[in-house]
Amino acid sequence: MNVIRRKFMALLGTLMMTNGTSRASEPNTAAAGQNTASKAAKSSVKPRHVLCFLGDEHGLERLSKAASAAIDSFATGFSIDDTYSQDEADENMSKSFEVCWDRVEPNAWLQSDEEAVANHKSVLYVLGPRMTPDNAVTVSAGALLLVDELIKAGAVAVKGESAGVAHGLIRWRELILQGSVALKNDDAFALSRTCRLAFAKRPLASDTYLESLGYHLVGQPEVFVPKSHGTELESVAVMDAVADDILRHGLEPTLKDRGAPLSFASDYDEDEFKFNPYGAVKLPS
């Protein structure tokens, strides 16, 4: 992990040098899609991560110390939310996690994860810095490493509030490993994809579409797939493929190739964490 931290700190250092505090120069393979999305955006909203960690009895101090150490070490711009963090159970967590569990990845959570949520005794919230399309992957990689540190410190469950997605601890560790390998190999495509899988929720259903939620956390628009396309899993595969194409080729070529418009209509208000300022790619029927 020391090698991974050094890689991440080097990437973060590039972020800091580019524009003082908040802008990163991402590797080229990721920047093509993100910069195009930035130009297309019609909102000045800058997304941010909101992370929820559940702990054992009297676990708030231990989790807070681990979060503070991570913030001092590598998670620049993250902060502990003292308003809603508490050293006692939150009776709403079982219901909240129930609707947030990832239902795409096989065995994304286990019975032991549900029991850990039901029996938690403390809650810590951590807020991420505001992100631009250019630094979103770097910040999200920091969020993933932060999740790693807090699991090691005793977090029994973790949820990304900005898209409403939760994984079990085994799945979180898989994503952390994938992100670490991508960082070690300087693989910007794999890093962006891993962060997207970690922090985005899919699919969500509207009257007409199956939709992604949370692609703004890696600087990308959402992808909406018509329900007529096929099953939920088939639609998720299309969402992932379109997002990958944006990374590889850029937004405008992907829109042209898919015959899809970019829409800025949203079910979320601009002051909501789930609002995507980069819009949504609406695939045709």
| pLDDT by 10-residue block (mean), the chain, 285 residues | 60 47 39 47 87 98 98 96 97 98 96 98 98 96 98 98 98 98 96 98 96 98 96 97 97 98 96 97 96
Asked whether residue 190 falls in the same domain as residue 88, the answer is yes
Domain final residue pick, 171, 195, 219: 195
Whether 136 and 24 map to the same domain: the answer is: yes
Same structural domain, 150 and 268: no
Q: Are residues 174 and 239 in the same domain?
A: no
154: domain range?
A: 2-195
Q: How many CB atoms lie within 10 A of CB 140?
A: 29
Q: What tokens does 14 get? A: 């590039």
**Strand 222-226 to strand 280-282: parallel, antiparallel, or no bridges (unpaired)?**
parallel
Give residue 21's pLDDT: 38
Q: Tell whether 70 and 135 lie within a shared domain.
A: yes
Whether 184 contacts 172, CB under 8 Å: no
- Residue 195 to residue 199: CA distance in whole angstroms: 6
Residue 56 CA to residue 123 CA, distance in Å, equals 9
Distance CA 81, CA 150 (A): 15
Q: Residue holding tokens 């493929």?
A: 241
Q: Domain ends where: 163, 195, 227?
A: 195
Predicted local distance difference test score (pLDDT) of residue 12 = 57
Instruction: Report residue 193 as tokens.
Output: 């994809």
Quote the pLDDT of residue 23: 33
Per-residue pLDDT at 43? 78
Q: Which of 154, 166, 150 is nearest to 94 (CA)?
A: 166
Overall domain count for the chain:
2
Q: Indicate the residue among 177, 195, 213 that finishes a domain.
A: 195
pLDDT at 5: 60
Q: What is the pLDDT at residue 32? A: 43
Altogether, the residues listed in the chain come to a count of: 285
Clarify whether residues 23 and 123 are in a common domain: yes
